Amino acid sequence: MRKLLVITGGTKGIGRAVIEKFVAYGFDIATCARKMPELEMLRDSLTEKADIHIFKADVSDRQQVKAFCDFVNGLNRPVDVLVNNAGYFVPGDISTEQEGALEAMMEANLYSAYHVTRGFVPGMKDNKSGHIFNICSIASIKAYANGGSYAITKFALLGMSKCLREELKEFGIRVTAVMPGATLTASWEGVDLPNDRFMKVEDVADLVYAAYALSNRSVVEEVIIRPQLGDI
């Protein structure tokens, strides 16, 4: 049986690149996003290469997370790889950013990963296998001006990754925190910088697959990848 990758926010950016990478290595996919037309385009583009299971969900909403987890678990297939990728960035300073920014980004960037993980870990424990990737950020380890609530949520996601690593090691489940620097995604649209100042999403996807491809005797706990010229 083909292995199954489950990933949130799979229609664009890093998520889309991760899907294409794992499909190339024989995986089927289950993914969610907020816009069904984009999910359908993703499925149609890859349907000849893999089974692509799509589900419309905003993972900042706990009930929609539960519906997505129920949908995937209803496939009655082991979850071999889980990638908590969904999230978004709004720049701002803690003292002046819009009211509610922290709560909104906590829901999208942290609580989504928390509840999605809880939806699949019991099955992984039963199977004594699996690999969880949390797409964190350089903002998980480096405070910077205009990072605001986004940086808070990414610091927290790294902390969650560390906790999961300790909790799940005895069950044969690997946990990896991926911390990319500036990557050419929609979050940077409108920025007046050349494309080659950013990393390619494919580079992040390659790194995720390389960490997965190690033997079960090893785990990449944390990985940092930055643009060659440094942070922006």
Q: Copy the structure tokens of residue 49.
A: 């290469």
What local confidence, expressed as pLDDT, does residue 118 receive? 98
Flag whether 231 is in a domain: no
Total count of domains within the chain = 1
Selected catalytic residue, list 111, 150, 209, 212: 150
pLDDT tens profile 127-142: 999 999 999 999 999 9
**Average pLDDT estimate for 64-86:** 98
pLDDT above 90 coverage of the chain, percent = 86
Looking at residues 197-204, what average pLDDT do you find? 91
pLDDT at site 192? 67
Residue 12, in any domain of the structure: yes
Please, what is the angle between helix 112-127 and helix 148-168, to 10°?
Answer: 10
What contacts 128, CB < 8 A, 6 or more positions away? 171, 172, 173
Does residue 230 sit within a domain? no
Q: Can you give the CATH number for the domain in which 126 is found?
A: 3.40.50.720
Residue 232 domain-assigned?
no
Among residues 184, 222, 229, 176, which one has the least CA distance to residue 203? 184
Q: What is the average pLDDT across 196-207?
A: 92
- Would you call 150 a catalytic residue per the annotation? yes
Q: Is pLDDT of 188 > 70? A: no
Q: What percent of the chain has pLDDT over 70?
A: 97
pLDDT digit string, tens, across residues 137-156: 999 999 888 899 999 999 99
Mean residue pLDDT of the chain comes to 95
68 belongs to a structural domain: yes
Sign of CA dihedral 188, 193, 195, 197: negative
- CB-count exposure of residue 180 (10 Å: 0-12, 13-18, 19+): buried
Once rounded to an integer, what is the mean pLDDT over residues 216-226? 97
pLDDT of residue 3: 98
Distance CA 154, CA 183 (A): 15
226 three-state secondary structure: coil
pLDDT, mean of residues 75-93 = 95
Residue 202 in any domain: the answer is yes
pLDDT at position 189 is 65
d(CA 98, CA 120): 34
Mind listing the pLDDT tens digit for each residue in 28-38?
999 999 999 99
Q: Residue 110 sits in which domain range?
A: 4-225
For position 231, what pLDDT does the model report? Answer: 86
Mean pLDDT of 96-105: 96
Alpha helices in the chain (DSSP H): 13-24, 36-46, 62-73, 101-105, 112-127, 148-168, 201-212
pLDDT of residue 123: 98
Structural domain includes residue 194: yes
